[in-house]
Amino acid sequence: MPFVPIMKGGEEEVTVRKALQLLREDGELLEFENLLAFFATFALKTKIIQQIMRWDMAVLEQSPWYQQILQEGEQRGIQIGEQRGIQIGEQRGIQIGEQRGEQKGILSGIELGLELKFGSSGKEIFSEINTIENIQVLETILASIKTVETIDQLRQVYQSDS
């Protein structure tokens, strides 16, 4: 009886209802009701199966079978969430690493440019510039070193951008 839904003609609601009636009439077969419902999910919509079986979801949620499925689903969800979190963390870590590498490279260029253009006076202003984290501002400073004539002109470049 429980296999009726997956047999020829078993996808009919009437057929499943008849199989359920026969199972319920025989006390020894009553335990196969859940199996019938399981196989019915391959042939009918869940809502129809609930109507046929006259199942109360609140009662089903208390069954050990439901609790096991729920627990396994939660565990899978946690695993997927952890994997996704690790992936996102790695991606962000790479991005941050790339940004820091780019920032260090630009700062090295600024430091060299200041030393070449302004000598020891350039080291003094570099300590101010070294605190700037915005890469675009640092790129502007690096490009401006070629055109500014004084340290004060350079300060105006990054003070107006911040």
Give the pLDDT of residue 153: 92
Per-residue pLDDT 10s for the chain (162 aa) are 666 766 677 677 788 778 877 777 877 776 777 777 777 877 778 777 777 777 655 556 666 777 788 788 888 888 888 888 788 888 888 888 888 888 899 999 999 998 888 888 888 889 889 888 888 999 999 999 889 999 999 999 888 755
Region for residue 56 given its phi and psi (left: phi exceeds 0; alpha: psi -120 to 50; beta: otherwise): beta
| pTM for the whole structure | 0.47
Whether 142 and 109 have beta carbons less than 8 Å apart is answered as yes
Whether 60 and 28 have beta carbons less than 8 Å apart is answered as no
Question: Cα(131)–Cα(140) distance, rounded to whole angstroms?
Answer: 15
Whether 144 and 157 have beta carbons less than 8 Å apart is answered as yes
Neighbours of 125 (CB within 10 A): 18
